[in-house]
Structure 1
């Protein structure tokens, strides 16, 4: 049920994002900036961007999944926490430094109507609502499947004595069964939470990935595209590692892992392909296009910031494994700062 619901949400976001080019056909109130335009050279850069971003995204999301076979990179090892902290820093910086400022720029542009867009800080409001909505989805989905897990455990064939809270008597057999049952319920709840986290995180990622892909694909300026190739390649790789780590912890079956990995890997390239297809009719200064971009980027920023802080960083940094290991705690903090710093530095060029 949850999987189909999240799939429907993904498709809805992709459909809305795909409608963005058509929305851009609305009447413009501003002239597009005159840039150094070279369609032939720009197309070569776009092809390079498409291949580079596709390869980086696929490598990033598959690396944690494949690393299950490498003991040093398994989710239970310390190195996994350090790498995941770096990836979370990249995602956090993406929300704060890349996506949110773009949303502010779009929704405060002089090209869109002053009323109502100039009367209220819609960018922050939409980001806040998206973060609250993510919290609600996270909470209710985890709560719902936690209850289902407990009911299933209660009906799993053990009698009442085996499911009861264990007491210290000579009935050692009943005591051990009860403890195993409670551990199983706790483990199932944690596993379900990881599954909710991975699906919501992917939802937030694909929203801005499609939008930035369309913007890159529609651009005819090599000077604009060139720095974006490096920035988006780096971004997709480490964002993929963050998502792949969540997918690994969720322990999906092979088919679900493949679907989520392919879906993540293809979103930005699909956006680029759409942008290439509508290069001649897309206007980045169209009021409707700016509003759609601004609203979707605001929502994406809220989702990414919430997921990075709450579900990726807080969950790991407050875990007993990190709290009881000073060296690991230091390594995770340094890794987080490096990831956020590197992604923030890319804002200088893209």
Structure 2
């Protein structure tokens, strides 16, 4: 057992109080900027950001999210649930990996139920809709099945008449499609943000009480900004009507304040909160492992599969664009993985 580890209930570090307080505002600015810039820039009428910048942010952020899952969540979860402070029973089974697996299947089941419910709801009102809402102007396609449904509609004379009739009342049909699209898109991004928020809160607590404050502080400024860029780029591409435009902004604000709130709470309880203690190790390990499963599922299914493999636009694009998109994702993943050396 490591003789330097403190398994008791004592508090964390009491040094550098002023810098720790300052870190609340520095990380708030970095996190908020990273999360809100893609959202506000895409909507701005005066800030003309080239499409290439958005594409870079989107794919770079996807790589950041995937690296966060493995390097910044699953690895710490394994360490925390394998801590020498815990009883030997915790080492008899890979609980961190099991919790990650449980999280992946839970998210899959939740999405499956949500999408089936949405599809069933639209079927009752006589509409056919891609379960992920990508047939209403979204940036990614779910697969060839949506193209088949669309071509079948056009080929069918009766249905073409229905389309002609509904064209006379576009607002009614448009609203139904968007209602389901909103629900499915918000579920997907909401799951992603939930996992990121758990992680952000925990690292805020850690920063408030850790002995290695200076190194962790510098790393977290970049960490939260990059991760915010990943979350913000997903929020920016939510294809929703104007009455729901506050949803991406709210998501960015929530991300921006989570780590500062964690730091503030950590400072308030640092006389009693010991990040290496038994209870803290169990709680952090469980939450990190569950969050890792959320981000792994989101990264591999929502980002890898839907943005590339099942995206007809991407598959039909030039080799140069495809290589650029993959390179941006690898760059984000690589930089975030590198930060794992210090945090």
Q: Distance in 2 between matches of 1:109 and 1:168?
A: 64
- For residue 80 of structure 1, what is the aligned residue in structure 2? 54
The verdict on how the C-alpha distance between 1:195 and 1:176 changes in structure 2, with shifts beyond 3 A counting, is: same
Q: What secondary structure is seen at the aligned counterpart in 1 of 2:91?
A: coil
Deviations 1:22-75 (A, max 9, x none): xxxxxxx98529xxx9745x223312321121111111111121122358758x
TM-score by length of 2: 0.78
TM-score by length of 1: 0.77
Matched, 1:230 2:204: no
Aligned with 2:118 (options 145, 152, 156): 145
Q: How does 1:21-100 map to 2 (within 5 A)?
A: 31-32=5-6, 39-40=14-15, 42-69=16-43, 77=51, 79-100=53-74
Q: Distance in 2 between matches of 1:150 and 1:268?
A: 42
Kept in 1: contact 2:223–2:339 (CA 8 A)? no
- For residue 19 of structure 1, what is the aligned residue in structure 2? none
Deviations 1:234-280 (A, max 9, x none): 22222222222222333271333333222211111111011111111
Mean alpha-carbon deviation: is it higher for 262-271 or for 60-69? Answer: 60-69
Which portions of structure 1, spanning 4 or more consecutive aligned residues, are displaced by more than 3 angstroms?
37-40, 69-74, 149-154, 164-192
Aligned with 1:273 (options 244, 264, 275): 264
Deviation at 1:324, TM superposition (A): 1.2
Q: What secondary structure is seen at the aligned counterpart in 2 of 1:294?
A: helix
Q: Distance in 2 between matches of 1:170 and 1:139?
A: 31
Matched, 1:332 2:305: no
- For residue 101 of structure 1, what is the aligned residue in structure 2? 75
Q: Distance in 2 between matches of 1:169 and 1:284?
A: 67
Deviation at 1:193, TM superposition (A): 2.6
Q: Distance in 2 between matches of 1:62 and 1:289?
A: 32
- For residue 127 of structure 1, what is the aligned residue in structure 2? 100
Deviation at 1:111, TM superposition (A): 0.7
Aligned with 2:248 (options 257, 271, 277): 257
The verdict on how the C-alpha distance between 1:147 and 1:64 changes in structure 2, with shifts beyond 3 A counting, is: farther
Computed over aligned residues only, the root mean square deviation of the Cα atoms, in angstroms, reads 3.2
- For residue 313 of structure 2, what is the aligned residue in structure 1? 321
Deviation at 1:153, TM superposition (A): 5.5
Aligned with 2:231 (options 234, 239, 243): 243
Kept in 1: contact 2:13–2:270 (CA 8 A)? no
The verdict on how the C-alpha distance between 1:168 and 1:312 changes in structure 2, with shifts beyond 3 A counting, is: closer
Kept in 2: contact 1:60–1:244 (CA 8 A)? yes
Structure 1, gaps ≥5 residues long: 1-28, 155-163
The verdict on how the C-alpha distance between 1:169 and 1:135 changes in structure 2, with shifts beyond 3 A counting, is: closer
> How many pairs were matched up?
304
Q: Distance in 2 between matches of 1:125 and 1:247?
A: 30
Q: What secondary structure is seen at the aligned counterpart in 2 of 1:348?
A: coil
- For residue 337 of structure 2, what is the aligned residue in structure 1? 344
Q: Distance in 2 between matches of 1:131 and 1:178?
A: 40
Kept in 2: contact 1:126–1:299 (CA 8 A)? yes
